[in-house]
Structure 1
Amino acid sequence: MRAAPLCAALLACAACEMEELPEINVFRPDYQGVETRLLAENLVNLIVRMEGARDGEDVSDYARCAAAQYALIRGFGFARHVRTSVEERAGLWSGDAVYTVSPDLPRGVRTIDAEVVVDDCQARGIPTI
């Protein structure tokens, strides 16, 4: 009769050992700056660099934050994403993004409200230029 509780305890203990420990992934990005190039009156190219990105989405988010702030600096309230190229070499990530900026909501599905995006970026700790 004592064997049953002992077996149950051993099985429970074996299950504990097989349970995977959660992976701890600390995100500590190092944002290394933004280079802006005015391509036309309402078209800007942003080059961003960072280390510690988890993937290309982190780099794209950084470029998006920079584009939103750039739009506000130029007196515009909106931007529209044209393209972003991301690459990683030896832990250094870079993004090459192009956005249009405008005072009115542009046509298209990849538009951003600059004030809303800048607020979100600040809340997330992503620098904006």
Structure 2
Amino acid sequence: MRAALLPIMALAACDATPDAPSGAVRYDGIETRLLDGDLVNFKVRMTNAATNDDVADYAKCAAAQYALIRGFGFARNVRTLVDEEGGIWTGDAVYTISSALPRGSRTIDAEVTVAECARRDIPTV
């Protein structure tokens, strides 16, 4: 019986996905919620981020892709809250999305931002 199990266990080991290196940044998910019309909430989770900006960038990438999915070309950051506990970082960001460039200084061009996120290997929705 033991001899029959060894080949099966060996195959299972080949299919196992290696763990990320200890201390590596890991993007653990995005939760998107439409609040009202053009107002969208993004909750992101990361492990081993270096700074608050890393978490904010993850949320920004999610917002840019979401805007494109909904047929809009722009987004504007309303607010981003970042928290860290035990190496787990969370972000809670709110963006407006629009077809025209919104007023304000924290606006993003969704296409340009999604391309930059891909270049930096930051996942989007």
TM > 0.5: yes
**Amino acid of the structure 1 residue aligned with 2:106:** R
Aligned pair partner of 1:59 in 55, 61, 74: 55
2:17 aligned residue: none
Cα distance in 2 between the residues matched to 1:120 and 1:28: 20
Give me the whole-angstrom Cα distance separating, in 2, the residues matched to 1:98 and 1:120: 20
Q: Which of 71, 74, 77 matches 1:75?
A: 71
Aligned residue pairs total 104
Separation of aligned partners in 2, 1:35 and 1:62:
12
Moved >2 Å (runs of 4+): none
The aligned counterpart of 1:36 is 32
Counting aligned pairs with the same residue, the percent is 64
Distance, in Å, in 2 between the alignment partners of 1:59 and 1:104 is 26
- The whole-number CA distance in structure 1 between the counterparts of 2:31 and 2:118 is 19
Between the aligned partners of 2:37 and 2:109, the Cα distance in structure 1 is 19
Question: In angstroms, what is the RMSD of aligned CA positions?
Answer: 1.3
Matched residue, 1:3: none
2:46 alignment counterpart: 50
Q: Where do 1:101-120 residues align within 5 Å?
A: 101-120=97-116
Give the counterpart letter for 1:117 in structure 2: T
Question: What is the deviation of 1:52?
Answer: 1.3
Task: For structure 2, list consecutive stretches of 5 or more residues without a partner in the other structure.
Answer: 1-22
Larger gyration radius, structure 1 or structure 2: 1
The yes-or-no answer on 1:91 pairing with 2:90 is no
Residue type at the aligned position of 1:123? R
> Take 1:28 and 1:125, find their aligned partners in 2: how far apart are those partners?
13
What whole-Å deviation, never above 9, does each CA across 1:29-87 have from its counterpart, x for those lacking one? 10001000100110000000000100111000000000000000100000000000000
Where does the alignment leave 5 or more consecutive residues of structure 1 unmatched?
Answer: 1-26
User: 1:127 and 1:92 mapped to 2: Cα distance?
Assistant: 17
Rounded Cα–Cα distance in structure 1 between residues aligned with 2:111 and 2:29: 20
SS at match of 2:93: strand
